[in-house]
Chain A
Amino acid sequence: MSSSSDGPLTAATAHGGHDIPSWGGGSLPYAVPSKKLGMWLFIVSDAITFSAVIFAYGYLRLAAAAWPRPFGTPSIANATVMTFVLLSSSVAMVLAVRASSLGKVSGAVGWLVATALGGVVFDILHIREWLGLIGEGVRPFHNPWGTPMFGAAFFTMTGLHMLHVTIGVVYLLVIAVGFGRRKFSAADVEVSGLYWHFVDLVWMFIFPLVYLLSAKTA
């Protein structure tokens, strides 16, 4: 997508010959393409969705007599590695956006695939954690430690996030293929990057709230 912002203000002067004082925004007050603005607005609404789920967890945990702290060192180590993987995939995404804006097609596709791979590793590690908890007997409405809603809160928060990661992996691969075939532009890569960084950002809250605050300490 080529930028049409080489002068939202020149239109005003071209119009009637009068010099209309500029306010700096012109016809593009945000100075971003509409796809990017759309993604930002989606991200804000999705942030509120996640917040609602996280606040519900806070509500339950505050009201509960005792909240389970089932995460031993292996689980915390696993979740820490997941955090590192997601943060690193975000850096790969930054490099993909940069390569695409410089017109380096193979570089951009490579970094996009690397980013998606980070998402796959994250999902695998998280599913391993889920299976471990399910094996210990955690279900949405009962678990071995009391406070039945622990499972519902845990699976909803982490499940919603895992769903976002999985959708992100598909999204990034579609963009990678499309950008490789010159069907998508650098702007499309950048917009997919916003989504990916947001998924990373949400994990920065779920990791401490779900795992670290429920670490099994001796």
Chain B
Amino acid sequence: MEHAETAGNKIVFSVWFGLLGLTVLEVILAYRQLPLETMFSVLMVLSVIKAALIIAYFMHLRYEQPSLFVTLIPALVFILIMMTAIFADSSRLAHMRSLVQ
């Protein structure tokens, strides 16, 4: 299993420090008085960056054939987007609760 390219020490430790740094940033943000929606959006953007770093460098996907990435990732993203359809129903529930009270 010779890989033509792999992440060297410098990259691995940079990614590690990057991930630790982003985690600290997230914790600091949690104590800011931000509206929940803003906080949620910012945290999710940071988490997607962390996930991408892990997939690309730790899970090595960056150094694999592009065909593997194309097979695995777009389908997953598509499914996640489709799943957001359920959230319309939770606002309906919240609305109905406000009518009862």
The answer for the CA separation of A211 and B65 in the assembled complex, in Å, is 36
Task: Take A101-B1, A186-B1, A197-B54 as given contacts and tell me if A62 and B30 are in contact as well, using a CB distance cutoff of 8 Å.
Answer: no
A30 to B23, CA, bound (A): 33
A40 at interface by CB-CB < 8 Å: yes
Q: Does more than half of chain A's interface fall in helix, strand or loop, or is it mixed?
A: helix
In this complex, the interface size class of chain A, counting residues with CB under 8 Å from chain B, is 35 or more
B10 to chain A, nearest CB (A): 13
Chain A residues whose C-beta falls within 8 Å of the C-beta of B23 in the assembled complex: 80, 83-84, 87, 207
0/1 per residue, B46-90, Cβ < 8 Å to A?
110011001100111000110110011001100110011011011
Query: Quick one: given A63-B93, A205-B47, are A51 and B83 in contact (CB under 8 Å)?
Result: yes
Q: Across the interface, do A190 and B1 meet the contact criterion of CB distance under 8 Å?
A: yes
- The 8 A CB mask of B1-42 against A (1 = contact, 0 = none) is 111001100001100100110011011011101001001100
Instruction: Find out whether the CB atom of B7 lies under 8 angstroms from the CB atom of A65.
Output: no
Interface residues on B, range: 35 or more
B99 part of interface (Cβ distance < 8 Å) = no
Contact of A3 among B1, B44, B65, B83 (CB under 8 A): B1
Interface residues of A in 27-43 (CB under 8 A from B): 29-33, 37, 40-41, 43
A68 to chain B, nearest CB (A): 13
Least distance between A100 CB and chain B CB atoms (Å): 10
* A25 is an interface residue with CB less than 8 A from chain B: yes
> Residues of B contacting A25 with CB < 8 Å?
65, 67
Question: Are A212 and B43 interface neighbours, CB within 8 A?
Answer: yes
A143 on the B face (CB < 8 A): no
Q: Which parts of A90-140 form the interface with B (CB within 8 Å)?
A: 90-91, 93-95, 98, 101
Q: Which of A52-60, A152-160, A165-173 contacts B (4 or more CB under 8 A)?
A: A52-60
B11 CB to closest chain A CB (Å) equals 10
Interchain CA distance A32-B6 in the complex, whole Å: 14
Taking CB atoms, residues of chain A closer than 8 Å to B80 are: 51
Select from chain A the residue with minimum beta-carbon distance to B52. Answer: A201
Which A residues lie at the B interface, using CB under 8 A? 1, 3, 25, 29-33, 37, 40-41, 43-44, 47-48, 51-52, 55, 58-65, 76, 80, 83-84, 87-88, 90-91, 93-95, 98, 101, 186-187, 190, 193-194, 197-198, 200-201, 204-205, 207-209, 211-213, 215, 217
A-B contact pairs, 27 of them (CB 8 A): A30-B71, A55-B83, A55-B86, A58-B90, A59-B86, A59-B90, A60-B90, A63-B90, A64-B94, A83-B23, A91-B13, A101-B1, A187-B1, A194-B59, A198-B59, A204-B50, A204-B54, A205-B47, A207-B26, A208-B30, A208-B46, A208-B47, A211-B30, A212-B26, A213-B36, A213-B40, A215-B30
